[in-house]
Copies of this chain bind each other. A is one copy, B any other.
Amino acid sequence: MADSPTTSRILRVGRANSDLRPVTLERGAVPYAEGSCVVSFGRTRVLCAASVESGVPGWKKGSGEGWVTAEYAMLPRATRTRVSRERSQVGGRTQEIQRLIGRSVRAMLDGFAFGEFTVKVDCDVLQADGGTRTAAITGACVAVEDAFAWMVATGRLPVSPVRRRVAAISVGIIDGEPRLDLDYEEDVRAGVDMNVVMSSEGRFVEVQGTGENGTFAREELNALLDLAVHGIGTLDGMQQQVLAQPLPMPV
């Protein structure tokens, strides 16, 4: 029930169209989890906890292969006005996002030949100011990489199946200008909105562009992709740095 922001709030104070918001990655932030990371993109803040569980979903049983999957949720007061919990049916937006995160972290591997284990990464949004799905993917990558490293460190696997990192960012067009890493107010104003997931090898994992309030031309698509490539490069460097530190072990 916060009072509505004054319309004079100036967007992107001191931030160029091609700048990310301040990004932090707190690796190992969930002491009980096999891998974890609290990620922030500006005021957006997501807790990512990867759990290693014996067994796989029914359709994989007996295959000798593992699985990697994700769940996504928001705390009710992660947002400016309270949003109800999804306690009787999981909404379409939530399902869409958690399927996207799942596909993205599965792209870190080239197959699931690591035995019948499931790595499930829970992405819980503590604070939401736009870009929760891209922040979640970026943090989930760190959590998943560490969960597999924990399996190696504890003798469950001889070697980690992780082959690459993934990171993600949103881009959009506002008043005709392409911008990187939209916050909530920018997201609402954007006519075109795209989420891009890329690997540490510089290839695309997902490209999801939507023009509900306006269609977009091929050149605009290209300009948005340029911005995204730039932003994801920065995120990938941060992941690389934080993962170069020694592995935090769960308590």
A: which residues have CB within 8 A of B? 1-3, 30-34, 36, 43, 47, 49, 51-54, 71, 73, 75-82, 85-93, 95-96, 98-99, 103, 106-107, 120, 122, 124, 126-127, 154, 194, 198-199, 201, 203-212, 215-218, 221, 225, 229, 250-251
Is the beta-carbon distance between B221 and A77 smaller than 8 angstroms? no
Which B residues lie within 8 Å of A210 (CB)?
103, 205-206
Is the beta-carbon distance between B206 and A122 smaller than 8 angstroms? no
When C-beta atoms are compared, the residue in chain B nearest to A120 turns out to be: B82
Is the beta-carbon distance between B51 and A75 smaller than 8 angstroms? no
Is the beta-carbon distance between A75 and B208 smaller than 8 angstroms? no
Is the beta-carbon distance between B76 and A49 smaller than 8 angstroms? yes
When C-beta atoms are compared, the residue in chain B nearest to A128 turns out to be: B32
Bound CA span A90–B90, Å: 9
Bound CA span A221–B90, Å: 32
Can you list 30 contacts pairing A with B, beta carbon distance less than 8 Å? A1-B51, A1-B52, A2-B32, A3-B154, A30-B77, A31-B43, A31-B127, A32-B79, A32-B127, A51-B82, A77-B122, A82-B120, A87-B89, A89-B89, A91-B95, A92-B96, A92-B99, A93-B99, A96-B96, A103-B210, A107-B212, A198-B215, A199-B215, A203-B211, A203-B216, A205-B215, A206-B209, A207-B209, A208-B208, A218-B225
